[in-house]
Amino acid sequence: MALPLIKVENLSKKFLISHEKQEPYTTLRDVMAKSVKKLFQKGVKPEGNSEEFWALRDLNFEIKQGDRVGIIGRNGAGKSTLLKILSRISEPSSGKISIRGRVASLLEVGTGFHPELTGRENVFLNGAILGMGRAEINKKFDEIVSFAEVERFLDTPVKRYSSGMYVRLAFAVAAHLEPEILIVDEVLAVGDTQFQKKCIGKMEDVSKNEGRTVLFVSHNMNVIKNICKSGIVLSQGKLVFSGGANEAVEKYLEGSADLGTVAKLYSHKVKCEFAKIVNININNSKNPLVTIFEKLTIDLEIEVLQNISQVEFFVLIYNIEGSPITGLFQKDNDELFKIDSTNHKVSVTLENNLVPGKYFVSAGMFDRSRQFVDWVEFGEMFEIEHAYADGRLFEPRLGATLQKVQWEKIR
């Protein structure tokens, strides 16, 4: 095919962010109150309290038919905005996209599912929402139901479904859409491993055998490498790389490592008189993405402000809700370091046995009498992806930690 299926030219999307106190929405009351205030404050210049924010800036790329493209970027890089524009949910501020063919987006599985309706009814409802005609759904109905493995529960309201059944049914509808372009955003984080495999298989099938194009957004680099042929890397709304999937993943990981050299301002819980932590890196980067059981190395760079001979370092790891998961104290198993007036860098390495998710890292120092020298709270973050180093996907379960264990058959 000589002509690209999707052609994006100079695409930009701008949002206005207001710097006033953040409200989730405007109320009429506020608007009226403000206009009344304005009446009485003549001569005061109108509030110019908002700033432009470019979620996407001058994107240019092309996607060919039958391609499986991974869209990679950190949170806030503009991935979701790009998908929303491609699926026509929001409008670009400038630029142009030409798409030849029907687009179906799966920004979240189960969009439009109604809990009161039965599985059967929801298939028709969801299909129509995703752009299928009734005749088309009728034709594929049996296929959808057997893919989702919910035959027995077809006439049960979906509010009685287990979450696994719900997701399976929702994905099954979308997988049988037959659009020329399928947009998928992180749906594989749910469902059991077997179903995830089935989904990946279906996506490959769709693009290899039927020549359809798949755009796939995920934070799971292994899944991207497995599924996608090519990749697009976004960073702060700009296109950083477009090419093969493996190179794109490398570029992305490199990119997050680059950021590691930039120190940022931390919030210190104590007044740092003697020494201060100026930079924390995790696996030589900021906000790294690691696999399950991948070792973590946390580097602390300190600046000595006044003479202090000895300090004890500590690192705390919190989960996303802010509850502490573990505390690492140097005193537990190591000699303390001698500190002189120069700047130092220390590191701690740990076997990571945390379950997938995002974690915050805090770090600090005590002096000899266990007084705080510094305590940086929620300094950096890291994320453990839903996959093992060999690409196997993680099956959600109860518990906050994982262990490498040995199972033996005794009898």
Partner 1 sequence: MAALTDELVIEPGRAEKNYWKDIWRYRELFYILSWRDIKVRYKQTVIGAAWGVIRPLLTMLIFTFVFGKVASLASSTSSTPYAIIVFAGLLPWQFFSTALSEASNSLLGNANLISKVYFPRMIVPASSVITSLVDFAISFGLLLLIIIYYKYPLSLNMLLLPVFIIMAFLLAFGVGLYVTALNVKYRDFRYVVPFIVQLGLYVTPVGYSSSVIAERYSGEIRFWFSFNPVVGIIDGFRWCIVGEPMYWPGFYLSLGMILFFMWLGIWYFRKTEKTFADNI
Binding site for partner 1 (CB under 8 A): 5, 15, 25-29, 31, 84-103, 105, 107-108, 111-112, 114, 116-117, 121, 124-125, 128-131, 133-134, 180
Find, among 253, 109, 122, 256, the residue nearest to 189 by Cα. 109
Considering the complex, state which of residue 86 and residue 317 has its C-beta at the smaller distance from partner 1.
86
Residue 111 C-alpha from the chain's centroid: 19
User: Least Å distance between CB 70 and partner 1?
Assistant: 21
Give SS3 for 35.
Answer: helix
Considering the complex, state which of residue 180 and residue 385 has its C-beta at the smaller distance from partner 1.
180
Give SS3 for 245.
Answer: helix
Output the CA torsion sign for 140, 142, 147, 150: positive
Considering the complex, state which of residue 50 and residue 401 has its C-beta at the smaller distance from partner 1.
50
Q: What is the DSSP letter of 354?
A: B
Which residues does 174 contact at the CB level (< 8 Å), separation at least 6? 104, 106, 109, 126, 130, 182
Considering the complex, state which of residue 86 and residue 339 has its C-beta at the smaller distance from partner 1.
86
CA pair distance 201, 183, nearest whole angstrom: 16
Alpha carbon of 7 to those of 46, 106, 205: distances in Å? 41, 20, 24
CA pair distance 385, 358, nearest whole angstrom: 9
> Are residues 93 and 85 in contact, defined by beta-carbon separation less than 8 angstroms?
no
User: Least Å distance between CB 309 and partner 1?
Assistant: 57
**Tokens at 84, concatenated:** 């929303």
**Tokens at 102, concatenated:** 């029907």
Considering the complex, state which of residue 94 and residue 307 has its C-beta at the smaller distance from partner 1.
94
User: Least Å distance between CB 85 and partner 1?
Assistant: 7
Considering the complex, state which of residue 25 and residue 40 has its C-beta at the smaller distance from partner 1.
25
Q: What angle do CA 119, 123, 128 make, to 5 degrees?
A: 150
> Are residues 86 and 97 in contact, defined by beta-carbon separation less than 8 angstroms?
yes
Residue type, 325: I
Find, among 181, 223, 217, 218, the residue nearest to 200 by Cα. 223
User: Least Å distance between CB 71 and partner 1?
Assistant: 17
User: Least Å distance between CB 28 and partner 1?
Assistant: 4
Which residues does 280 contact at the CB level (< 8 Å), separation at least 6? 266, 298, 299, 300, 301, 361, 363, 376, 379, 380
Considering the complex, state which of residue 94 and residue 306 has its C-beta at the smaller distance from partner 1.
94
User: Least Å distance between CB 242 and partner 1?
Assistant: 19
What torsion do the CA atoms of 316, 319, 322, 327 make, to the nearest 10 degrees? -20
User: Least Å distance between CB 5 and partner 1?
Assistant: 8
Considering the complex, state which of residue 15 and residue 293 has its C-beta at the smaller distance from partner 1.
15
User: Least Å distance between CB 2 and partner 1?
Assistant: 12
User: Least Å distance between CB 202 and partner 1?
Assistant: 20
User: Least Å distance between CB 84 and partner 1?
Assistant: 7
Rounded CA Rg of the chain: 26
